[in-house]
Amino acid sequence: MLADTISISREMAVIPTVQLADKRSGHERVCMIIGSYYVYALKDPRAKHAQAFYIGKGTGVRRYDHLKADNSRKGERIKEIVAAGQDVLVTLLADDLSELQALKLEAELISAFGTIDTGGILLNSVVPTGRRKSTRSTIIVPSGVEEKAQLGLKLLKEAVLELAKANGNGVMNSDCVKALGLASHYMGGSKDYLTWSLLGLLMQEGKMRRKDGSRLHVSQVR
């Protein structure tokens, strides 16, 4: 369902939830029902046609959480808008989505508009800073593909980390392959290097570590 720009002061309706029993832990957990996700844009009213400068997804009133003026590029833009005596426009682009639908739409929109790191207009922090550009000069890099790749990588790492969090004793590479359906190979060889790479990146970021003398990897974050 598509929606128009809404006032920041408008109160959100209560998002329905459902109590689900976690069979493994024996505890109940409250989950958002399917259809409670949305995708939104933050727009600068000073720009022509109130140009979007940030795309996000969320549930409940999450889109208003992003109106906090922190020290990020988005936060600095919000400060500039407020200092000019105006308000950030919050536009609900689509609602009544499942989480997967919201993730896909958010990624597609960020890829379509592009980030300022690659010549686009959005302030979303998607493309890593300080990375080396070693692409051959003859290679054509279509607009938005770098953002799409980085968003996909981010989701893959989050899935591996969440799996590790749920298994306190640690997970092996083969666990990640089978549980997440990430079997990979190159012409029959170099099997399951994708998940090895994901684990390696998470360890490099300090979010996971490998247990001494074992093949298990444990989460370092809650």
Within-domain flag for 114? yes
10 and 114 share one domain = yes
Question: In 3D, which of 65, 77, 1, 87 has the Cα closest to residue 39?
Answer: 1
- Residue count of the chain, please give it: 222
Task: Please identify which residue in the block is written with the tokens 């549930």.
Answer: 59
Within-domain flag for 59? yes
Instruction: Give ∠ CA 75-76-77 in degrees, rounded to 5.
Output: 90
Tell me the per-residue pLDDT of 17-30, one tens digit each, with 9 for 90 and over.
333 334 344 433 33
CATH code: domain of residue 201: 1.10.10
Q: Token pair of 118, please? A: 């690659």
Question: In 3D, which of 132, 172, 179, 133 has the Cα closest to residue 156?
Answer: 179
| Confidence (pTM) | 0.61
The parts of the chain modelled with pLDDT lower than 70 are: 1-35, 61-67, 69, 128-134
9 and 109 share one domain = yes
Phi-psi region at 130: left, alpha or beta (left = phi > 0; alpha = psi -120 to 50): left
Tell me the per-residue pLDDT of 195-216, one tens digit each, with 9 for 90 and over.
999 999 999 999 999 999 999 9
pLDDT at site 36: 87
> Among the three residues 82, 101, 118, which one is the final residue of a domain in this structure?
118
Count of domains in the chain? 2
Within-domain flag for 168? yes
* Residue 208 structural domain: 145-219
Within-domain flag for 135? no
* DSSP H helical ranges for the chain: 62-65, 73-83, 99-113, 145-166, 173-180, 193-204
The overall average pLDDT reported for the chain is 80
